[in-house]
Amino acid sequence: MGTVGVGFSAGGWAWLKWLSHNTGTRLDKLVLVDPFGDLEGKYGDFSARAISPTIANRVGEIVIFYSSGDTNPAVDRTIEVIEGKLTVRKRDFPDYGHFMLESMGSPDFPELVDELLAR
């Protein structure tokens, strides 16, 4: 297996910003778990940098784990923005909410482990 990155919520957006700036970085896979970008600027300039479409040339596959049970419209909008710039594969986990312990019911996340080990 090669190099894999995982970002949860704002960490997913942070990965995209970092990869947009660090153009020499290559990953075999990037998994974004319910990515959140502060697109309205409620938290300062957190999401000020645009996503570079050149990420697609440097990342073998981008996978978005999301939950149709997460009712946060900011997450939905973030995913729309990502899909507008990059080709992604999406996986829905409707009962996982925002992938927090309370909504998942367990700290175990075998679906993520399986995704990270898949080639």
pLDDT in tens, 32-85: 999 998 777 777 666 666 789 999 999 999 999 999 988 888 899 999 999 999
pTM of the model: 0.91
82 phi and psi angles, rounded to 5 deg? -60, -45
Enclosing H/E stretch for 76: helix 73-85
29 phi and psi angles, rounded to 5 deg? -155, 145
Type of residue numbered 48: A
Name all domains of the chain by residue range, CATH numbers in brackets: 4-117 (3.40.50.1820)
* Per-chain mean pLDDT for the chain: 90
